Structure 1
């Protein structure tokens, strides 16, 4: 998936025909399918094997629900934060015919429809917003101490003696 994303990022948005996006989008799809096979199936298997036999359907459904919810909510939250910050960073920086365009259309529209200086300002603002999105992601995705205990067999918290 990362290779497909980098490929798409290397394509110039304003001069690339739509057919040129077929290759990177197919690569993204193959990466998604591999991710589904490797991650979701093993998580579902672990959840189903951890519950009594009469609850396996509920465990399977719960893992599917959590996966779908994460796939929808994660990118939406990060994208919203990144585009909001990009809009704030771009506000008031456009002049001439492009002035006020960011308030009406947003930074993504300025990149594709604005003049050369407007595109440069919008690209910079989007880069700033995406950098903040990366920082937010890095802060939210962290090690799970419960899993560390399971892997090492040593508890990290001492139980209080009675």
Structure 2
């Protein structure tokens, strides 16, 4: 008997709530249901776009290109082929390095600081992988890749379309 009263009360409250929702949707002249009116739940989140005036660290994907006659020792260079959507401001990236407690964090900090402070460059390019085969994965800051501005218009690199659209609005 003691458990019957709370169960009956809960059932009545639930039924009352269902009736109230039905009456609200039936009494509305609007053809949309109540759930579709909550735009914050149905809207896609706005994608983040790098501010080109800030120093940003971009996650990139690259290809190795071999140069030299076949069968000989030539040179291998890395060429950025794609910008991933993930990027950080300098401060965010330095926090990321600290949070992950990477084995080469001091060197990464120095390289990022230098890239951000060198004559208007305001960018650095990294990927996640091995910079030393005997160590764990880390953010790789390759000096040769960071000598070039892969975001310039002359480079054939995939850049997220929403970045380009936003940058074109502010040009």
TM-score normalised over the length of structure 1: 0.23
Higher share of residues assigned strand? 2
Higher-RCO chain (CA-CA 8 Å, sequence separation at least 6): 2
Higher share of residues assigned helix? 1
TM-score normalised over the length of structure 2: 0.22
